[in-house]
Amino acid sequence: MLMWSRIRTQSASPLGKLGVEAALEAAADPSITPKPKIFDEFALTDRVGLVSGGNRGLGLEMALACCEAGARVVYCFDLPEKPSDEWIASRDYVAKLGNNSRLEYFSETVTDQQALWKKTEEIGDKEGRMDFCIAAAGILRSPIDCLEYPAEEYREVLDVNASGVLFTAQAAGRQMSRFGRGGSIILIASMSGSVTNRGHAWISYNTSKSAVLQMARSMACELGEKKIRVNSLSPGYMYTSMTKAYLDKQPHLLDVWSNMNPMGRLGRPNEVRGVVTWLASDASTFCTGSDIVVSGGLHSW
């Protein structure tokens, strides 16, 4: 009995009894009126988040989803001094949702560790908490033969796609640790971190995304005792502003990429909304150190 009591205490949901436990409680107490709790598990009510690469593309899509889930505020940052038209439209959209959520924007580079730490500390001072982080900033360069890849470009890609992810996760994780509530850190990797882009010389991109997968596992092991969960999310070929610019130069790749998965098409940015909300919320409280692949089944072949 003592062991069972300890297990129940360790694993208790912050939302109280759920599922079968809730049904048994209601059966024992007829005064209880059952109500659905599954959507409460996915809610991000009053939570504070940080999203790198949040000016457009996947980063903005995921930030908006978190606002729809009830986050108090999601701070997006990116390189441009002023946010894009897409970001402004999304901010205005969030303001009209009527759930007291808001989007904020600031300009910063993911490669400046100290500046990012300082800015996130200021956010912590203002909001009094930090609950989730989505490290989505990344760059893509034209493919170059691995034997000819220039050092400067290789370092640039790794600096943004690997080091920048770490610095973003550190910035948010430091605040999560400071407030002692735990949190969820989501590192945006890629299916390119676990498979090779066939026919494309993307050694810097593949290497950086592989580093992110290992980074998530390593950080999950270190931060678990602080109740900070760290997972990676690996999208397949998605049609974003970044890939659009790439496909505009090499349109033949559209059919190549589309036929590389059983779905026979590219993914939409909004097809990661549910997964990222799940990872940020209490619906995934026992998930850490995992890589969630959203690739249209590319890994199945």
The amino acid that residue 236 corresponds to is G
Residue-level pLDDT, tens digit, the chain, 301 residues: 555 566 556 667 778 888 898 999 999 999 999 989 999 999 999 999 999 999 999 999 999 999 999 999 999 999 999 999 999 999 999 999 999 999 999 999 999 999 999 999 999 999 999 999 999 999 888 778 889 989 999 999 999 999 999 999 999 999 999 999 999 999 999 988 877 765 556 788 889 999 999 999 999 999 999 999 999 999 998 888 777 777 888 888 889 889 989 999 999 999 999 999 999 999 999 999 999 999 999 888 7
Could you say which of 17, 209, 244, 249 is catalytic? Answer: 209
Beta bridge partners of 186: 134, 231
The domain defined by 37-295 folds into: Rossmann fold (3.40.50)
Q: How far is CA 129 from the centre of its chain?
A: 18
Active site residue 227: no
Catalytic residue chosen out of the listed positions 75, 105, 205, 237: 205
Q: What is the pTM for the complete model shown?
A: 0.92
Hey, where are the domains in the chain?
37-295
**How far is residue 163's CA from residue 215's CA, in Å, rounded to a whole number?**
10
Whether 205 is catalytic: yes
Structure tokens at 147: 């034997």
